[in-house]
Amino acid sequence: MQSAEYKEALLTDLQIYQQVYLHLKEKLATASMDRHASLDWSIRTLELQIAESETKIKWSNRQLQDLRLTDAHGGKTNYD
């Protein structure tokens, strides 16, 4: 998978997680007590998935930047 495709997949995942998160938050507001705990844990799981996706995107962006800097310096890693 190319870096642009990987980044696009990460962004798509993040967008889906965020949409489902908002949907479940709306459901939680009107949920019966027996559904409340299940929805709450689903929301917590989505919060983790969102944080993980954001971290992957940041990491990917840093790696691409490092590659650009390496290419710009004749193949030598620049740690400045």
φ, ψ of residue 31 in degrees (nearest 5): -75, 150
- The answer to whether 21 and 6 have CB atoms below 8 angstroms apart is no
- The answer to whether 10 and 57 have CB atoms below 8 angstroms apart is yes
What is the per-residue pLDDT for 25?
Answer: 96
Look-up of token digits 């590659």: 67
Q: 61, 70, 80, 64: which is closest to 14 by C-alpha?
A: 61
Measured CA to CA, the distance from residue 40 to residue 47 in angstroms comes to 11
Q: What is the pTM of this model?
A: 0.79
pLDDT digits (tens, 9 = 90+) for 7-54: 899 999 999 999 999 999 999 999 999 999 999 999 999 999 999 999
Q: Token pair of 9, please?
A: 């997949």
